[in-house]
Amino acid sequence: MAPGDCRFYNNLIMQKVAAGFQSSENALSSQELELARLIVTTLNLETRPADIDPHARLYGEGLGLDSIDILEIALAISKTYGIRLKSDDENNVRIFSSLRSLHEHIQKLQSG
């Protein structure tokens, strides 16, 4: 094996490791998948729950939801998880910024 071959294989291995890290970072946990299913079902979306990027924006770009969609999701979450999401919460932009942030907020409310 020539020295250049080693560099090639090392670079290839590093790319695969980085790709694996990125894919695990974007993988949905089982609880996030459950929340994604709730969102897809509630809004009759044509996307598969597993295809939702946990970091993608929910509102506007990303999943493309509007304010009415967010209200419907908040109601469905309240019914499903037994928690109350307040429409006047000053953190709503952050809470509803992505599936992952919404899931983390639900976990926080359930534990507290």
pLDDT of residue 21: 43
8-17 tens-digit pLDDT: 555 545 555 5
pLDDT of residue 104: 97
Right CATH for 28-111 from 1.10.1200.10, 3.20.20.70, 2.60.40.10, 2.60.40.420: 1.10.1200.10
List the domain boundaries for the chain. 28-111
Cα distances (angstroms) measured from residue 86 to each of 9, 70, 73, 91: 53, 12, 12, 10
35-51 tens-digit pLDDT: 999 999 999 999 999 99
pLDDT of residue 22: 45
